Amino acid sequence: MTHTTLVLGGARSGKSAYAEYLLADTPALYLATGQALDDEMAERIRLHAERRGPMWSTIEEPLDLAACLDRHLDTGRPILVDCLTLWISNLMHHGRDVDHETAELCEVLRNARGTVVLVSNEVGLGLVPETKLGRQFRDHQGRVNQRVAQACRRVVFVAAGLPLVLKDMI
């Protein structure tokens, strides 16, 4: 049976730790969208890897998420995608069509034969960004979250490290 879960939350809400907890009992694949473009991000990535431990295998894919996910679903190992927020940022930076890429991702999720947990930031609860680029990013993030939530069987919102199930069709 397919188990697709979207874990949403704000910055430092505990969403990644919760997503890792969901897959803690089995060797899993960690599909990372973030890139270590500076020392601070490199340290964040290192801390995430340290927290996960040696049972996890990491695949780095900042752009072609749907194709990469589809390829690795055949391994039979559960997959954690962390995170959609950085993926959207990468797509925008490279001038890619976020709506098209999201449609491809949702198609893979609807047809997934395995367990996939995706992490994404909920950015729509704060102030309206001052810049056009900030507003475009916030709008993309909101639309991606909505579309992925529709494609997933389960959606969980994490606040202060506490999960709140929003949708459960498992």
Using 50, 70 and 90 to split pLDDT, how confident is the model at 165? Answer: very high
Which pTM value belongs to this model? 0.93
Of residues 105 and 42, more confidently modeled:
105
Helices (H) and strands (E) in the chain, counts: 6, 7
Domain that holds residue 27: 3-168
User: What's the number of domains the chain is made of?
Assistant: 1
| Residue whose entry in the numeric block shows the structure tokens 């991702």 | 105
Report the share of the chain in percent with pLDDT over 90. Answer: 76
E-strand stretches of the chain: 3-9, 29-32, 57-60, 79-82, 115-121, 154-159, 162-168
pLDDT digits (tens, 9 = 90+) for 12-66: 999 999 999 999 888 999 999 988 778 887 888 788 778 777 888 999 999 999 9
Q: Are strands 29-32 and 57-60 parallel, antiparallel or unpaired?
A: parallel
Question: Under 8 Å CB-to-CB from 9, ≥6 apart: which residues?
Answer: 15, 18, 121, 122, 157, 158, 159
* Residue 169 near residue 19 (C-beta atoms within 8 A): no
Q: Is the pLDDT of residue 1 over 50?
A: no
What CATH number is associated with residue 153?
Answer: 3.40.50.300
Give the lowest-confidence range in 5-14, 52-61, 141-150.
Answer: 52-61
Please provide the average confidence, as pLDDT, over all residues in the chain: 93
Is 140 a catalytic site residue?
no
Q: Is the pLDDT of residue 92 over 80?
A: yes
Task: Give 145: exposed, middle or buried? Use CB within 10 Å, 0-12, 13-18, 19+.
Answer: buried
Q: Which of 48, 93, 94, 100 is catalytic?
A: 48
**pLDDT for 111:** 94
**pLDDT for 170:** 77
Q: Are strands 154-159 and 162-168 parallel, antiparallel or unpaired?
A: antiparallel
**pLDDT for 137:** 96
Report the share of the chain in percent with pLDDT over 70. Answer: 99
**pLDDT for 75:** 86
**pLDDT for 2:** 60
